[in-house]
Amino acid sequence: MSDTYKSPLILISNDDGVTAPGISFLVNQMMKLGEVVVVAPDKPQSGMGHAITLGNPLRLEKVTIFDGVEAYKCSGTPADCVKIAKHYVLHDRKPDLVVSGINHGANSSVNVIYSGTMSAAIEAAMEGLPSIGFSLCDHSHEADFSHCLDFVYNIAKKVLENPVEAGVALNVNFPAKSENSLKGIKICRQANAKWNEEFETRKDPFDSKYYWMKGEFENLDDGNDSDLYALENNYVSIVPCKYDLTDYNTIDTLKKIF
């Protein structure tokens, strides 16, 4: 390391909120790699997708829950957290890496579009910053993250050393802890799958109806290059994600119709 080496600046967010166990594991790993700043939601924001707060102001408060780390809780969504971190908290300091998670729950396959964890990473990618979202396929608050930690460190280190193309966020998912060791990393595409939803109808104490969404996840993909295939076979999956939603394959078809 040369004398001019500057410790990388790593911004951390998540969607389970600043007090979730997953983010503290992430902070601990990232502190070994550089200077860490945390800006994370003040409450759980699961399923927030790429929501941002437009019609309301945001609150931002310093918290002292991570030893030796500058950290803030924010009243907004994960995407808001990245925006306020980049444009207010960090002033003109540009993070070398933005990481989000470790999420309590899978963000593989189609779930990426609903994911608050990944929205923080994708928002960073939109700002041209290298970014990674980490998720564990176990949504319990007491989930065991021990098998992920070396991978989290090594994946972040590799991205710091080899920043991927601007505009790309890595979606990293870990299989839930089991008696089998993880077999390694697979670079994947997002699996084709769907949620088959149901709305459970209930009545509140005032006899008014309300509806609670529940669903069964259905894997429709039989390829061996998908993230679901990797996870089912005890690999860590990494899917590069972009924010350009254009379906280039359909442009010519549409030109014939319109």
Shortest spacing between CB 116 and its own copies, in angstroms:
8
**53 near its own copies, rule: CB under 8 A:** yes
**219 near its own copies, rule: CB under 8 A:** no
**149 near its own copies, rule: CB under 8 A:** no
Element containing residue 80 per DSSP (H, E) = helix 78-84
Q: Which of residues 2-31 bind its own copies (CB under 8 A)?
A: none
Amino acid at the residue 210: Y
Q: How far apart are the first and last CA of the chain?
A: 59
**230 near its own copies, rule: CB under 8 A:** no
**127 near its own copies, rule: CB under 8 A:** yes
Instruction: Tell me: cis bond preceding 12? Omega within 30 of 0 counts.
Output: no
Shortest spacing between CB 222 and its own copies, in angstroms:
16
- Cβ atoms < 10 Å from Cβ of 179: 4
Q: Which of 1, 4, 55, 181 binds its own copies (CB under 8 A)?
A: 55
Shortest spacing between CB 202 and its own copies, in angstroms:
7
Query: C-alpha 201: how far from its chain's center?
Result: 31
Backbone φ, ψ for residue 94 (5° rounding): -95, 125
Residue 55 or residue 68: which is nearer to its own copies going by CB? 55
**162 near its own copies, rule: CB under 8 A:** yes
Q: Which of 92, 197, 207, 222 binds its own copies (CB under 8 A)?
A: 197
- # binding residues, its own copies (CB under 8 A): 78
Q: Are 18 and 42 in contact (CB under 8 A)?
A: yes
DSSP secondary structure letter of residue 226: B
Residue at token pair 């990293």: 172
Question: Half-sphere exposure of 146 toward its Cβ, with a 13 Å CA cutoff?
Answer: 7
Q: Are 139 and 104 in contact (CB under 8 A)?
A: yes
Contact region with its own copies (CB under 8 A), list: 1-9, 18-26, 28-36, 168-176: 168-176
Shortest spacing between CB 192 and its own copies, in angstroms:
8
**What is the C-alpha to C-alpha distance for residues 135 and 137, in angstroms, rounded to an integer?**
7
Contact region with its own copies (CB under 8 A), list: 52-60, 96-104, 130-138, 140-148: 52-60
**What is the C-alpha to C-alpha distance for residues 83 and 124, in angstroms, rounded to an integer?**
8
Q: Which of residues 75-94 bind its own copies (CB under 8 A)?
A: 77, 79-80, 83-84, 86-88
Shortest spacing between CB 73 and its own copies, in angstroms:
13
